[in-house]
């Protein structure tokens, strides 16, 4: 493939690129075998903050692909790292809407997580996808933000694609809190460049040597453009090639799936 050269590392999305739900996409093991054969480093970077890095390692192992914890970067992990560089974790109380994929990285960095009924003030409200979201959680978060807590979102995905259809994602929760408080959050996941910049640091490579792989134009590809790195849109997930016609940005390459990408890497 023309110009598909000088690649020192990859930043790879997971949902829609490597699998659909619990079903591995065709060519998954051959793709990772190729990366190992070529000694091509990678970071699996996802906006999904609902599960932990350890759970992703286990999921891939169940698909006959072995990876290390250090090759995973979730928006929950990226959020915890970003906040730890700007706040003193041991002195910062955080109210979290979200599951273990967001809560555990914050705990690992030393932040203090506030309980649902604790009266103490919090310094941060952080929201990620929460499939047990309740009115009370929204009320608590809104009151903390109104009282002056800084407001962050692990990612801004408004919808979550599932076998049932497109369900409300974390972006819908952020929108509700913004409507209730008048405060807009800082979001860490794609298309913000933050998670990509952290992945570049993990790879220890300059942007011009790295290629991002994703299935969503509005997150994976736009985030790559904002970070100044090349990108591949694979058509095995959300976005279609026709969707590019109405945008003012585009991926560097468009490929059918990871099987075509594997072929391009081996050339």
Instruction: Phi first, then psi: give them for residue 163, nearest 5 degrees.
Output: -65, -20
> Are residues 196 and 11 in contact, defined by beta-carbon separation less than 8 angstroms?
yes
Q: Cα angle vertex 36, ends 32, 41, to 5°?
A: 95
Q: Which of 15, 157, 215, 218 is catalytic?
A: 15
- CA-nearest of 17, 10, 5, 43 to 260 is 17
Does the annotation mark 108 as catalytic?
no
Give the list of residues 6+ apart from residue 25 with CB closer than 8 angstroms, or none. 17, 18, 19, 236, 257, 258
How far, in Å, CA of 9 to CA of 192, rounded?
20
Which is it for strands 23-24 and 19-20: parallel, antiparallel or unpaired? antiparallel
How far, in Å, CA of 89 to CA of 111, rounded?
4
Residue 261 three-state SS: helix
Neighbours of 170 (CB within 10 A): 31
Q: Which residue has the tokens 């002056």?
A: 148
Q: Which of 13, 150, 215, 257 is catalytic?
A: 13
Does the annotation mark 248 as catalytic?
no
Instruction: Phi first, then psi: give them for residue 244, nearest 5 degrees.
Output: -70, -20
- H or E stretch including 44? strand 42-46
**Catalytic positions, please?**
13, 15
């Amino acid at each position: 493939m023309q110009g598909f050269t000088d690649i020192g590392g990859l930043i790879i999305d997971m949902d829609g690129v490597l699998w659909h739900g619990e079903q591995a996409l065709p060519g998954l093991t051959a793709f990772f075998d190729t990366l190992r054969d070529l000694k091509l480093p990678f970071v699996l970077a996802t906006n999904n903050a609902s599960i932990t890095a350890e759970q992703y390692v286990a999921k891939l192992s169940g698909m006959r692909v072995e990876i290390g914890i250090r090759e995973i970067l979730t928006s929950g992990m990226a959020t915890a790292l970003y906040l730890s560089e700007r706040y003193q974790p041991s002195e910062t109380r955080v109210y979290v809407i979200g599951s273990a994929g967001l809560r555990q990285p914050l705990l690992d960095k030393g932040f203090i997580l506030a309980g649902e009924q604790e009266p103490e003030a919090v310094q941060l409200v952080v929201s990620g996808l929460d499939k047990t979201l309740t009115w009370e959680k929204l009320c608590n978060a809104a009151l903390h933000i109104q009282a002056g807590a800084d407001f962050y979102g692990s990612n801004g995905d408004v919808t979550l694609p599932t076998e049932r259809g497109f369900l409300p994602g974390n972006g819908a929760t952020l929108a509700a809190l913004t409507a209730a408080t008048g405060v807009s959050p800082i979001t860490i996941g794609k298309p913000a460049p933050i998670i990509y910049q952290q992945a570049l640091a993990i790879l220890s490579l300059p942007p011009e040597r790295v290629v991002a792989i994703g299935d969503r134009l509005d997150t994976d590809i736009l985030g790559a453009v904002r970070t100044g790195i090349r990108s591949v849109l694979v058509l095995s997930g959300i976005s279609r090639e026709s969707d590019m016609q109405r945008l003012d940005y585009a991926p560097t390459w468009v490929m059918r799936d990871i099987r075509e990408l594997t072929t391009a890497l081996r050339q």
